[in-house]
Structure 1
Amino acid sequence: MATDYDSPRKTDDDLGEDSLQELQARRMDKSSSTIDLDPDDAAEGLELPGADLSNEELSFRVIPRQADEFTCSRCFLVHHRSQLAEESKGQLICRECAA
């Protein structure tokens, strides 16, 4: 519901003067503002997990590992050198895996 912040605000006295019929009419207006959706239209844009994506083509640029990056030997993710926690027997381990 949109609110007009420039309109004058009701005081406590004004709120007490609202009739019972006005309050009931407002309640009925709010309850009648529900939105009915056609189930066929709503499900049209949804994709289920495990859907066949064999016809889809992905295009993105692969950037090789930089000199200041390393590949964690546990999670196999490429991290910046600042994320290096330990190096044991030539195996580089990131902070997340070392924790």
Structure 2
Amino acid sequence: MAADYDEVRPDVAEASEKTLKAVQKADAPDAKSVVSDLDETDLTDGLELPGAVVDEELSVDVIPQAQDEFVCCSCFTIRHRSQAEKKTGDGIVCRDCVLEYA
């Protein structure tokens, strides 16, 4: 006798039908009530918007530029003098930026 392997087995079909009925009987909220609940909640609690005034103080120690350092006029990074590559009218360009600056 030939067997149809694509046919759903009877025990699996019954189990999935019972599961579907259980889900339908479950006391799940409808979509409209979920949307109204989301509208009522304020989603911006705890978020800081850019440019907003913050009541925190920065605790960063600022160290002045040393004698052997320079500010690259292309990337504005403080570098050691050994990384200076080219002196221009605008200032000094570092090794990383010399190809981009040309």
Task: Specify the TM-score bucket, using the shorter chain as the normaliser.
Answer: 0.3 to 0.5
Q: Which has the larger radius of gyration?
A: 2
* TM-score between the two structures when normalised by the length of structure 2: 0.44
* TM-score between the two structures when normalised by the length of structure 1: 0.45
